[in-house]
Structure formats: C-alpha cells, structure tokens
Amino acid sequence: MQGIERFNLETKRILVTGAGRGIGRALVKALYSLKADVYALSLTEENLNTLRVECPGIHTVCVDLRNWEKTKEALSQISESMDGLVNNAGILIPAPIGLFAITPEDCDAHFDLNVKAVINVSQEIARGMIKSGRGGSIVNLSSAASKVHTP
C-alpha cells in the first residue's frame, strides 16, 4: 500500500464489513495504521477476537449481515458517529458450471449478502451520517468475479 501513509485519518470513524479475513481484514489493518477509529464488522467472533489482538483499540461488531433486522439494530447504535463505510462483505459459493447446477439456496445466499446487505448497511450508515450533519463517504467493493467468470 505504497503512498497510503500520506492520509491522515486520525479523527475519522470508519466501518468495514467483512473485516474478519481477506481484503476486509487488510483494510482494517491499513486504516488502523493510519490512526482511524476503526469499526470492524464480521460474522465470526473468533476472527474479530484475533483482529482485536493485532489492532488493539478497534471496535468490533459481530452480526450476520443476512439478517436485516439484527444488522439494523447493531448499526443503529453506531451509525451517527461514522465518517466512512467500506462495504466489503461478500460471498461466492462455488458451484458446478451450468445453469441447472444453481440452487434457490445459492441464489438466496448470494442475493442476501452481496446485494441486500449492502443496501441495508448503506441505508443505516447514511441515515446516521445525514442526521449527524457531518456527511461522510461510502465505498462499495466487489469481486473480480463480477467481471470475469471463475472456473
């Protein structure tokens, strides 16, 4: 992350979804190194616990983003204090190639996390940003699989 050290995020509160592993975890670490007040959201408490050891002082939120109401409830407590949101959580369920291999459960899982959760989290955080009068930024990440088929 060459050049990232030029950013000063000391006064910024930023929520990262999918923070337990992969890109989300790396984002939390980078934001933490830039002195942002980081809120890490993950489905897995164990991943949040190890992240807290690596980045002492971060805030953690453990919630299943596929559950609309529990997500709203968890975020309503922090939404007014956020300056930024990184929608990073996502799922890719590998399935045999072919139209007839896709199940309704696969469709629901993908849609619930990759589409509905982004809308829900964005709505809740944006409401808080507007209510606080400070505004903020929302960044949505997507997989390369959105552009290129994966075998």
- The answer to whether 14 touches 85, Cβ cutoff 8 Å, is yes
Write down the pTM of the prediction: 0.90
What is the dihedral angle through the alpha carbons of 43, 49, 54, 56, rounded to the nearest 10 degrees? Answer: 110
- Residues 86-140 have pLDDT tens digits of 999 999 887 677 778 888 998 899 999 999 999 999 999 999 999 999 899 999 9
* Neighbouring-strand partners of residue 41: 17, 61
147 in any annotated domain: no
Residue 150 lies in a domain: no
Residues 84, 136 contacting (CB under 8 angstroms) = yes
Range of the domain at 80: 13-142
Reference 80, options 131, 117, 24; nearest CA is 131
Q: Give pLDDT tens digits for 47-82.
A: 999 999 999 999 999 999 999 999 999 999 999 999
127 within some domain: yes
* pLDDT at residue 98, rounded to an integer: 73
Domain count, the chain: 1
**Nearest partner of 44 among 29, 22, 77, judged by Cα:** 22
Domain CATH for 48: 3.40.50.720
94 vs 151, higher pLDDT: 94
Which CB contacts under 8 angstroms, 24+ apart, belong to 3-7?
4/30, 4/33, 4/34, 5/34, 7/34
